[in-house]
Structure 1
Amino acid sequence: MAHFSPTKALGGSRSLCIGTETECAKAIPEQSKPVDGFDLKVNFDYNSDRLTSAARSNLDEFARALKDPNLSASHFLVEGHTDGMGSDAFNLDLSMRRAAAVVKYLTVHGVGDDRLEAKGYGKQKPLVSDLMSSENRRVETRLRNQ
């Protein structure tokens, strides 16, 4: 449940590396922003906005958590993405349909649509550098800063 509730920022992560400065620079990731909530990723099949059974299972758990009274004030961004195949216009539309499919699923399962904001990004924000990778076909749902 703590993943879904806003928390105070605890600052960047810390680590210890034993090795040369060059070795440690490779081992320690760049300063990342503090984790402020739960991220949910839902993957999609090629050229599809249909939720897979795995996606529905994840969203069922997410919907149950969002019904908890402690989370009643939480709002979430639902961001749709595509791989690099196809035109910008097609992918923008597909990414919005993917985000809308997630919002619709959550609202049918009791989450108020006023708590969810759908947005499509098309192929603008790939998750991995290979633009054609299936990992880029996704919806990410994250806690929205109020």
Structure 2
Amino acid sequence: MRLWTITPLVLALASFSLDAKAQNTSEPAYTADELVNFMVEQVDLGSARALCIGTKSECAASQPKPKGFDMRLTFDLDSSTLRPEAKANLEVVAAALKDARLRVAKFKVEGHTDARGSDDYNMSLSVARARSVADFLVSRNVDRSRIVAEGFGEGAPLTADPLDPDNRRVELSLSVE
């Protein structure tokens, strides 16, 4: 059985000086190299090995918590269409994912919605948002086998207000074997 390490790499434009809303520009505030370096620092991509004796939860608790690289991709109401600033950021993400240092990494693309709409509609929309991001990355020659798109509907709001537009987003998680 293979054990995967899931590192939330909440690619979500807000920390690491990446707030695209504040910049009000379609220019990314970071480079592909900065993104790769950040990811390489957060997880073991095969250069080191460690053994933990204990239960899965005990071993997980002993691991340091990864730092978030917040680069949230947000969407308009009732839309799975990528905004221009999201496309600009995803160009950089695509370049980073093709870097040789990340060759063993896989990524989970997680779509979310606010609480407007029915549960079924929101689940469908969140899947469409995740697929929109995954398809964009694949169109930039990122191997589809390294990307899993999944929708969560309104089930994991980012803010206390379930109707907050910030809940309409896609996040990425980094996985390594």
Q: 1:86 maps to which residue?
A: 117
1:61 to 83, 92, 109: 92
TM-score if structure 1 supplies the norm length?
0.78
Q: Separation in 2 of the partners of 1:61 and 1:80?
A: 19
Distance 1:35 1:84 in 2: 29
Identity among equivalent pairs (%): 39
Larger radius of gyration: 1
Aligned residue runs from structure 1 range 1-146, under 5 A: 1-5=36-40, 6-7=42-43, 34-35=65-66, 38-146=69-177
Deviation at 1:7, TM superposition (A): 2.2
SS at match of 1:144: strand
User: 1:84-139 CA distances to partner (integer Å, 9 max, x unpaired)?
Assistant: 00100000000000000000000000100100011100000000010001000000
What per-residue deviation string (whole Å, max 9, x for no partner) do you get for residues 20-63 of structure 1?
xxxxxxxxxxxxx7116745421000000000001001100000
CA RMSD of aligned residues (A): 1.6
Residues 104, 144 of structure 1: CA spacing in aligned structure 2 closer, same or farther, 3 A cutoff? same
- Count of residue pairs the alignment pairs up: 122
How far apart, in 2, do the equivalents of 1:95 and 1:109 lie?
22
For 2:174 and 2:117, how far apart are their aligned partners in 1?
30
Q: How far 1:144 moved relative to its partner?
A: 2.0
Once the two structures are superposed, what CA deviation does each residue of 1:56-94 show, in whole Å capped at 9, x if it has no partner? Answer: 011000001111111111101100000000100000000
Q: What is the SS of the residue equivalent to 1:135?
A: helix
Name the aligned partner's letter for residue 69 of structure 1.
Answer: A
Partner of 1:21: none
C-alpha separation in 2, matches of 1:122 and 1:50: 16
Residue type matched to 1:4 in 2? M
**Structure 1 counterpart of 2:85, one-letter code:** A
d(CA) in 2 for partners of 1:60 and 1:92? 26
State which drifts further: 98-107 or 35-44: 35-44
- Residues of 2 paired with 1:60 and 1:97: CA distance? 19
TM-score by length of 2: 0.65
In 2, Cα distance between equivalents of 1:131 and 1:104: 27
